[in-house]
Amino acid sequence: MIKKWIQKRISNNPSFEMVMFWGILGSCWLTTLVSAIYSLFEHISTTAVVGCFLASLFFFVLGAIAFITKKYRASYFVMCFGLCTFIVSPLFFYFGGFHCGMLLYCLASILICALYSQFRGRVVLVSYAVILYLTLFAYAWKHPELSTQVPPDYTIRDIMTSFVILSGLMFSIVSYLLKAYYQERRTKDELIQKLDFFSTHDPLTSLHNRRYFIDYLKEKILSNPREFFILMYDVDHFKKLNDKYGHLFGDKVLARIGEIANAFCLVPGEIAVRYGGEEFIQVIVATDLERAFAKAEAFRNSVSSISLDEEPSAKVHISGGLIDCSKPEYTSHDKMLSSVDALLYAAKTSGRNKILHQE
């Protein structure tokens, strides 16, 4: 019930700090409420019953304030301070001092303080709780008359009940915190994977990006250029497509080309790259220029068949240049890129919708 109430009121991707606050607050609220009901049925002093109900009300009000303000770290600090000062300490005397299970609650409250997210605040809260309880124990030992007198059989019953309640409390807190921790860890791992992916890929087309291609060119192709061919191409009249049909349509065209480009990477070593804007690169693996050119032409024809539902009449064509990376003049990646770029420019100026290659 508490878990569902929390999940309805916090964000879809809550922080670990937020989840920890709600988990511990809910557990403390339930524990004080159960203690109040138990005290009522056990005919313990009215003061103890009222104290437990007020403690339950404290957690409820604090939760409402935290929900409104969203200041979970400050609310957690207030919760720990109030728990030690105004709840556990007075109830220690109301329930019978050393003749009840409140010693267990003192330890539990210190553990809750130790879970505060900020180190400095954690040290302050734990130090405060330890000093407070040591002072409390010393005072209760010197003044036993301040503690409510309880029959011997009540002592063992209360200790056993407190042990059961706190075991459930600790189990709930630890389980909830572990779940929150693993959820946050999984979220971070997914984010790291996405960042790693987009460091080498283009977010629109999911093709490799320019940086990855340059590294690939230097490390893979230049070291053994045999059977590697580079096709550089771009979309003909892409600006006119954008102006006529809108930039969203232009993005869909680029994304569709990206899908086709990925589908054409069938041989190990072949990659598709969005080089920049509407300019792309296809690394082709083939035994000779004729076969590489046939692949390039098949790719150009596939792009020409693109038809998008939004604008079925729109025609998409590409122009490109193709080079054989094994030619001896290509001693650096710059020379390769300059050469294929010159062929692309020649294809654009000689009519478009074609692929040119070196003889």
Rounded (5°) CA angle 133-137-139: 115
Q: Name the catalytic one among 278, 279, 297, 311.
A: 278
The answer to whether the beta carbons of residues 97 and 144 sit under 8 Å apart is yes
Cα–Cα nearest to 139, from 104, 92, 101, 174: 92
Residue 325 CA to residue 225 CA, distance in Å, equals: 5
Residue 195 CA to residue 42 CA, distance in Å, equals: 59
Residue 141 CA to residue 143 CA, distance in Å, equals: 6
42 counts as catalytic: no
Residue 3 CA to residue 113 CA, distance in Å, equals: 22
Residues 54, 59, 64, 65, Cα dihedral to 10°: 100
Residue 230: DSSP 8-state: E
Amino acid, res. 120: R
The answer to whether the beta carbons of residues 352 and 235 sit under 8 Å apart is no
Q: Catalytic residues, which ones? A: 278
